Amino acid sequence: FMISYDRLWGTMKEKGISQYDLVKDYQISKSLIHRLRKNEGVSMNSINTLCKILDCNIEDIATYQKD
């Protein structure tokens, strides 16, 4: 199984928040953004933080994909 963060990028664009904004204005680490881009594991705390920043639901950020 795999969690995909492909929806995150569209949600960010819709909300007018760039990756640079996440790092500069919201203190999101560059390593977290790297893990999200690679669909690697991230903590639920990180997902929660992104949902707060983007004022969105978890399904606006992540989807579950079967192999």
pLDDT digits (tens, 9 = 90+) for 20-51: 999 999 999 999 999 999 999 999 999 999 99
Average pLDDT for 5-14: 97
Q: What percent of the chain has pLDDT over 70?
A: 99
Whether pLDDT at 66 is above 90: no
Q: How far apart are CA 63 and CA 10, in angstroms?
A: 13
User: What pLDDT does residue 1 have?
Assistant: 63
Burial of 62 (0-12, 13-18, 19+ CB in 10 A): buried
Whether pLDDT at 62 is above 80: yes
